[in-house]
Amino acid sequence: MNTAGTKALAAGGAAVVVLIAGCGQGVAKDAGAGAKAKGSHSYKLQHTDIHYGGDKTRFESQVKLADGRRVAMHYLDKKGLYVQDYSPKARGWSKPKNVYRTKTDVCQGITLKARAGTVAAIADWARYCYDGEPPQESLAAVATGRLTTWDRHLTKSFDGWIKAEITKNGKQVTFKRYAHRLKWTKGEGFGPKH
């Protein structure tokens, strides 16, 4: 048997295998390149991971805007408050984004209100809240436009905001708790608490 010929044939066969394998990888890459890239609203709606303190749906909230968009917020245990917005055009949710980061225990539910393209949110955290302690961290937040940026105001050692009122034109939000007031104005943000 011709040893040199056998080696040459084996080397040639190996080269063909390498070429075929290389072509297979190239085809796979080319097929993937034409695939639709993930858009900014290609995610599923996320939910809270908190399973204590009764019904877990109280640790998430959702509101619908007049144009069909939606905003959903949920607490994550020891991580804080997260938000997603829904695009009716893309028929999907945005990637979850942290609005406020804290390791404090959640205290109450999340309040969301929308009017004239403005969304207002109230969220609270406290240790021992289930034993009747007031919130240690009370967040008022507002988003407008594309709903990707949230103006935030944190009040510490406060019983928490009860409601948010949005003006008809959506240019002002007033957070209320009995005589206490906190105003947000479009273009100026949050003013002092009264």
Q: What digits encode the pLDDT tens for the residues 36-48? A: 335 689 999 999 9
Chain-wide mean pLDDT for the chain? 82
Residue-level pLDDT at 38? 55
Q: What's the burial of 181, exposed, middle or buried (CB within 10 Å: 0-12/13-18/19+)?
A: middle
pLDDT above 60: residue 139: yes
The predicted structure's pLDDT at residue 133: 81
Specify the pLDDT at position 129: 78
The pTM assigned to this predicted structure is 0.78
What is the rounded average pLDDT of the residues 119-138?
88
Indicate the residue type of 157: S
Tell me, what DSSP letter sits at residue 82? E
Q: How far out from the chain centre does Cα 182 lie?
A: 25
pLDDT over 60 at 191, yes or no: yes
The secondary element (H helix, E strand) that includes residue 30 is helix 3-33
For residue 63, the surrounding DSSP H or E stretch is strand 60-64
pLDDT level of residue 15 (50, 70, 90 thresholds): very low
53 three-state secondary structure: coil
pLDDT at residue 156, rounded to an integer = 93
pLDDT of residue 45: 97
Distance, in Å, from the CA atom of 179 to the CA atom of 120, rounded to the nearest integer, reads 19
pLDDT band at 29 (very low <50, low <70, confident <90, very high): very low
Asked whether the predicted pLDDT for residue 141 surpasses 90, the reply is yes
Q: Is pLDDT of 10 > 60?
A: no
